[in-house]
Structure 1
Amino acid sequence: MDRAAKTLTDSVFVLHMFHIKETHMKIEDIRGAVADTLEARGLSNRTFLREIRTGKRDESPYMIGALACAAAQIMQPAG
């Protein structure tokens, strides 16, 4: 699996772990979910995790993937 596919897979995993169901998700919640999941999966770089939580890493592949997945969930028809 290439790096982009793994990042997207990780981002989808983040959202499934977070169980985002709301239509008005707060970016702070997504940042926290991404950081918490990365930490749970063994990432120990405290600086990187803190930067995700504070919004300094919104351009990271993890955040971009998580935001794309969140947008896709919002756009799904209610069922």
Structure 2
Amino acid sequence: MEVTKALAALQPLYGKDNIEVVTVDGQRVRGTVKSMKTTQALTTPSVKIECAGGEIVKIPFPTIAEIKDHNLASDSV
């Protein structure tokens, strides 16, 4: 997913729980959106998701295939 699309989809979900991010390699991460880094020079924009067990998973925006908000009636964002 391109960076601008990922950022637009994730911004309204910041701080919400029960969000699932699926990566291009099939990894699924579900939890709370904790941090989005987009402006630091020479770094890949990424999102950090806090999983139920307290584990923080960092996902680079270019590897995101799909974002799902399980709090809504429609699953896809």
Write 1 or 2 for the structure with the bigger share of helix.
Answer: 1
Fold conserved between structures, TM > 0.5: no
TM, length-normalised to structure 2: 0.28
- Tell me which of the two structures has the higher relative contact order, counting C-alpha pairs closer than 8 angstroms and 6 or more residues apart: 1
TM, length-normalised to structure 1: 0.27
Q: Which has the larger radius of gyration?
A: 1
